[in-house]
Amino acid sequence: MITLLTTLAITSVVAYGCYLLVLFLAQDKLLFRPPKPQHLLYEKYTKFHCGITHNNIYLQGWVITGINESSNTIAIYFGGNAEDIAETIPTLKNFPVEKLYAFNYRGYGLSLGKPSQENFYHDALVIYDEINNRHPNKNIMLIGYSLGSAIAGYVAKNKRTDHLILLAPLDSIFRAAQEKFWGLIHKILIRNNFELSQTAKSITCTTLVFVAEKDTTITTHQSLKTYHALKGKKQLISIPEATHNNLLDFKKTFESISCLTKNSQNNYQIDDEAIKRIAIYYAKKLKHPFAEEYFSGVRSITNTDEALEIAKVFWQMTDLASEDHLNNVPVFDNVDIELWAHNLFNKLYDYYEKNGFKEQWKIAEAQCG
């Protein structure tokens, strides 16, 4: 009996080891899936061609005129892990920007080189510098879709960025692999992790995050982890009918981005009165009189201690709101509680920044966020 159990144990360990070895060796093919070169499309879009060569590596690219040439905004688009940019050009024309640049990754289309996180990140910085030098006085918008969200995020962390658009953003390749392979993956085995949720902690530009509620490739849970890690102004926009690959098929996506480029409030924000009413509701739930009076407009923040106290209350309120959201608890005629939390964050962050309480916000976020 002991011999049988020992044999089964050894067999299981060996099988698991072989399973991990196969995944380790095959991970690049699983992650980087360039489609066959689209030669007919390359010929069709010759007039848009805009390639870049650096260190003897040619990157195939295109420059496209957007639908808002007066926006003073230049966009750089980073696509998904199985995307040939040429196939996306008709959709990219719909972005409300002056011009949009997009390039095939190394090993994709006619671009030379080998795909890897290191190469993609390096190329993205080179692309940014080239485009920024061509348009030195323009606003820069970075757009990342799926895997491209990690690349756009990396550039936003390291370069001046006015607007960041993340479409179906990942947490990391490790987290996605864990969900796909039943948690049987170890982080040490991942060569190209693209850990956007970590990068997001250093991103301070205005960011729109789009999630597809029917996405089974990068789940909403993964995208939300990245969203919550972002610093500065941000807004989450959920598209109920969208799947992983069709976020750019919805009018709401482009309307939201258009509002951002116009520097106006988004059509999908909750009005100020609703934000105030729900904040008071959660302050009462927390039994915090000062917060209740503050959000009612009866009291104001007069010192750093009060600023720290209210900032901490905010994070406690968002925890309660998250619980209500997960449990489908209706609040004030089914107002989108998650969206309320994001809008309140933006308003409070603005207030703290303008009134010299930014340090208290950071302390509260580190302790409670």
Residue 238 — φ and ψ, nearest 5°? -105, 130
Integer Cα distance of 163 and 204 in angstroms: 10
Q: What is the pLDDT of residues 35-59, one digit of tens each?
A: 999 999 999 999 999 999 999 999 9
Q: Scanning the structure block, which residue is given the tokens 């905010």? A: 314
Q: Is residue 21 predicted with pLDDT exceeding 70?
A: no
Q: Is residue 269 predicted with pLDDT exceeding 50?
A: no
Query: What are the sequence ranges of the domains in the chain?
Result: 1-31, 39-261, 272-368
Using pLDDT thresholds of 50, 70 and 90, give the confidence band for residue 233: confident
Q: Which of 199, 174, 197 is nearest to 187 (CA)?
A: 174
CA atoms lying within 13 Å on the CB side of residue 2: 0
Q: Which of 344, 92, 365 is nearest to 234 (CA)?
A: 344
- CATH architecture observed for domain 39-261: 3-Layer(aba) Sandwich (3.40)
The DSSP output letter for 247 is: G
CA atoms lying within 13 Å on the CB side of residue 17: 6
Phi-psi region of 168 (alpha: psi -120 to 50; beta: other; left: phi over 0): left
Q: What is the pLDDT of residues 249-265, one digit of tens each?
A: 999 999 889 877 764 33
Q: What is the pLDDT of residues 125-160, one digit of tens each?
A: 999 999 999 998 888 999 999 999 999 999 999 998
Q: Is residue 7 predicted with pLDDT exceeding 60?
A: no
Residue 74 — φ and ψ, nearest 5°? -110, 130
pTM as predicted:
0.67
Q: Is residue 25 predicted with pLDDT exceeding 70?
A: no
SS3 at position 82: coil
Q: What is the pLDDT of residues 271-315, one digit of tens each?
A: 567 788 888 888 999 999 998 888 887 777 878 888 899 999 999
The whole-number pLDDT of residue 265 equals: 32
The whole-number pLDDT of residue 306 equals: 87
